[in-house]
A and B are shown apart, each in its own frame.
Chain A
C-alpha cells in the first residue's frame, strides 16, 4: 500500500507547474545505504586441533566471503573469551592477520577495524590467517570461542 501511495505522490510532484518555485527552497537530505554483508566462511569453523599448554598452533586460514557495493565500507572483527566450563582463556590468545606480510594482531572483545580496502564489485573472498597460543598451566579441556565479523557500509 505504501509503495503505491509513493508512486502517486511522485507523479503529482512531477506535474507541478514551475510557478511553485516561488514558494522557496526546500533543503533535502539523503543517506544512501549500501548493500553489504558476509555470506560465508571457508571452512565454516576454525578448529585448532589439540594444543598443549605453552604451545602455539600452526597457522589456520579462513576465507571470508563478503558482498559490498559501498565505497568506504569497513570490516571489523572481534571475539569472545575461550571457554571450557569452568575455565576460560583470554580472547587475545587468538591472533589474526589478513596481510601475509604483516605481523599477527591479538583478537579483542571489542570491534577492531580491519585496515583492508574492501572491493565494491559484488561478492569477494578475503583470506584471514589465525594462530592460537595456549598459556602455560592452562587447564585441559575442549574450549570454544566465537569470532564475529561485521561490515559497516
Chain B
C-alpha cells in the first residue's frame, strides 16, 4: 500500500511550474552620416597689435556620424561695419597653422565616426590695419566617405 501512495505522489510532482518565453525581433537602420560638432563654437583671438600675430587657438571637430568624414574648412574676410582685411590672414591646419584660410573649401582631415580632430588657427594683422573689433566666419564641412 505504501508503495502505491509513493507512486501517486510522484505523479503529482510531474505538474511542474511552467516558464514560457517568446522572442520579439527588433530592428533599426542607422544611415550614412558624418555630421560634425565644434567645441568651442567661437574662437576669440583677443587683442592683437597691427602687424602682430595672435596666439594659436583650437577648436575640436567631432564626427558624431556613422561613417568617416572628410572635413573641409573655409572662411570669410575679417570685417567690422566699414573695414575689412583678407580671409588669408587667418592660418589653419590640423596640427600646425601653416595654411592660409580661403573662401574656398580646403581639406582639414579625415575624421572617423566617433573621433575628434583639433583644428588650429591663428591670425596675423596686416601692418596699417585700422583698429576695431573684427569678426570672421569659419565654416566646416564634412563629406561622408561611404564606400
Chain A residues close to B by CB (< 8 Å): 6, 9-10, 12-13, 16, 20, 23, 26, 28-39, 41, 44-54, 57, 62, 79, 82, 84, 94, 130, 132, 134, 136-153
**Interface SS of chain B: helix, strand, loop or mixed?**
mixed
For B13, what are the chain A residues with a Cβ–Cβ distance below 8 Å? 29-31
User: How far, in angstroms, from A139 to B34 measured CA to CA in the complex?
Assistant: 10
Contact A137 B113 (CB under 8 A): yes
Selected contact of B27 from candidates A20, A23, A140, A143, CB within 8 Å: A143
Known: A52-B66, A138-B113, A140-B67. 20 other contacts (CB 8 A): A13-B4, A23-B1, A29-B9, A33-B18, A36-B18, A38-B20, A45-B26, A46-B24, A46-B25, A46-B26, A47-B28, A49-B29, A52-B30, A53-B65, A79-B26, A141-B66, A142-B27, A142-B28, A143-B27, A150-B19
A136 adjacent to B19 (CB under 8 Å): no
Contacts of B67 in A (CB 8 A): 139-140
| Residue interface bits B17-47, CB-to-A below 8 A is 1, else 0 | 1111111111111111101000000000000
Check if A16 sits within 8 Å of B113, measured CB to CB.
no
Cβ contact within 8 Å between A152 and B11: no
Contact between chains at A53 and B30 (CB < 8 Å): yes
Chain B residues bordering chain A, tally (CB within 8 A): 39
Q: How far is the CB of B103 from chain A (nearest CB, A)?
A: 30
Q: Distance in Å from the Cβ of B145 to the closest Cβ of chain A?
A: 12
The answer to whether B64 touches A30 (Cβ under 8 A) is: no
A151-B20 contact given A31-B15, A53-B66, CB 8 Å threshold = yes
Contact at A139–B66, with CB atoms within 8 Å?
Answer: yes
Which of B28-84 touch A at CB < 8 Å? 28-33, 35, 62-67
A153 and B17 contacting across the interface, CB-CB below 8 Å: yes
CB proximity of B38 to chain A, nearest CB, Å: 14
Chain B residues with CB below 8 A from A84, complex form: 30
Q: Which residues of B contact A130 (CB under 8 A)?
A: 26
| A62 vs B25: C-alpha distance when bound (angstroms) | 11
